[in-house]
Amino acid sequence: MTLKKPVYLDNNATTPMDPRVLEAMTPYFLEKFGNAASRNHAYGWVAEKAVDLAREQVAKLIGASAKEIVFTSGATESDNIALKGAIEMYKTKGKHLITLETEHKAVIDTCKYLERIGAAEVTYLKPQPDGLVDLAELEATIRDDTVMVAIMAANNEIGVIQPLAEIGALCHAKKVLFFTDAAQAVGKIPMDVEAMNIDVLAISGHKVYGPKGIGALYVRRRKPRVRLAPLVHGGGHERGMRSGTLDVPSIVGLGKACEVAGEELEAESARLTKLRDRLWNGLKAELDFIYLNGHETKRLPNNLNVSFAHVEGEGLMMAMKDLAVSSGSACTSASLEPSYVLKALGVGDELAHTSIRYGLGRFTTEEEVDFAIAQSVQAVKRLREMSPLYEMAKEGIDLSTIQWSVH
């Protein structure tokens, strides 16, 4: 069988829709197209029922109850509601937020905005070199006026999974809200808002083989009852937390995507871990001077982020044109700035520029992984043939000691 090229290994940026998801959505485009808020007629009721089912499906995947799920336009919006909504609602408690330097832009930028308008004071924790949060440092950072700790479940670039249960227990003990952006984690690793003491959690549709333009926010209803001020005001949909006509087909799609992910999580996680390890071992067997970014085992089963030393970053991407992979995160890869996530881990600019994120997925085959190994190895070897630095490194010269002359 010939491979379809480019081979798609960018499932941390976005996932293709699962055909089962599209199938579930299809009747809601033309036939069952009612507005879920139409109270007077059957078309509205049918739509509302479909939304209710989807709410159950999403809730089930994270151990929540359906009433705790608010549908949004995606994880970016969910992140914005979580942070801005908490800061507005709990302003009598204080305005301190704690987050990580390696959070998604939707969290970082929202925090920066809240700081800029004087609504929040934010502590940005530096992760350890393996990407994990330092729990002792987190504990020491929590203050009386801390409203919320925002730490993502799994990182979008390096796949590192944070110790969610420990963070949750700590926040719970200190009576601080724990918000986790779980866009990358939901459907890939088991998530349980009760066991992990999560108060607010963001979900993205298009990272779990569902549609783009849809997401959800879990908002705990008891112990404690969390209240978030809305960001989008209007007709009072979603218990007043998010107004706007519900995107019924996409909601149905997100529900189905969560159901499928839940059913297949265990088997799929094992399969992906095997494939990912095959990829890493394959690369390591053929290439020297390559480095894994992020913790080796506490990472998503589908993610591998590797820096290839002594090659030129843009050249590497071009040489890998038959692989759909990303360098840095999708949202910032248009710029030539090295990834701020890798920077926070202490990875130097040179290695950050030559980092590749391999994101395996539900439709990735062993054959594709082998092709990715072959193409990566070939690309790196060819580029290194042209690199005097690689020759010197191989001879054991410490490149950082070289005096460069200026012409």
Partner 1 sequence: MAAVYLDHNATTPLAEEVREAMLPFLRRGHGNPSTQHAMGREARAAIDAARETCARFFGCAPDEVVFTSGGTEGNNLALKGAAWQLPEERRHILIGAAEHPSVSKAVEFLARFGFTFDEVPTDASGKVLPAALAAALRPDTGLVSLMHAQNVVGTVNPVDELAEVLRGRPVLFHVDAAQSVGKIPASFLFSGADFMTVAAHKFYGPKGVGCLLVRRGRTLEPLFHGAGHERGQRAGTENTAGIVGLAAAIELAEATQAEAGERVVALRDLLHARLAQALPGVVLNGHPHDRLPNTLNLSFLGVSGAAIAARVPELMLATGPACHDRAAAVPGVFGAMGLDAARGSSSLRLTLGRSNTRAEIEQAAEQLIAAVRALRAEAGELPAEASRPSELPTCPRAGCERPLDFRDGLQGPELGCERGACPYLCLAPPPGVQV
* Residues taking part in catalysis: 331
- Applying the rule CB under 8 A, the residues between 246 and 265 that interact with partner 1 are 246-250
Q: Based on the shown chain and the rule CB under 8 A, indicate whether residue 38 belongs to the binding site for partner 1.
A: yes
Query: Is residue 34 a contact residue for partner 1 (CB under 8 A)?
Result: yes
Q: Are 45 and 274 in contact (CB under 8 A)?
A: no
- Report the site for partner 1 in 213-232 (rule: CB under 8 A): 213-214, 231-232
Torsion of CA 132, 138, 140, 146, to 10 degrees: 170
How many chain residues are in contact with partner 1, going by CB under 8 A?
Answer: 72
**Scanning the structure block, which residue is given the tokens 């071992």?**
281
Q: Which residue in 282, 269, 253, 278 sits closest to 361, CA to CA?
A: 269
CB neighbours of 147 closer than 8 A, spacing ≥ 6? 86, 87, 90, 93, 94, 95, 96, 97, 120, 176, 177
What are the start-end ranges of the E strands in 24-125? 69-72, 96-100, 121-125
Among 53, 56, 65, 73, binds partner 1 (CB under 8 A): 73
Nearer to partner 1, 12 or 307 (CB): 12
Binding flag, residue 91, partner 1 (CB under 8 A)? no
37 binds partner 1 (CB under 8 A): yes
Q: Site residues for partner 1, window 305-324 (CB under 8 A)?
A: 317, 321, 323-324
Report if residue 343 touches partner 1, rule: CB under 8 A: no
Q: Show contacts with partner 1 in window 111-130 (CB under 8 A).
A: 112-113
Q: Could you tell me if 21 and 249 are in contact, meaning their C-beta atoms sit under 8 angstroms apart?
A: no
Query: Based on CB atoms, which residue is closest to partner 1, 233 or 274?
Result: 233
* 217: nearest Cα among 231, 202, 227: 202
Q: Binding residue for partner 1 (CB under 8 A) from 363, 378, 391, 394? A: 363
CB of 249 closer than 8 Å to CB of 242:
no
**Smallest gap, in angstroms, from Cβ of residue 220 to partner 1?**
22
Shortest Cβ 94–partner 1 spacing (Å): 19
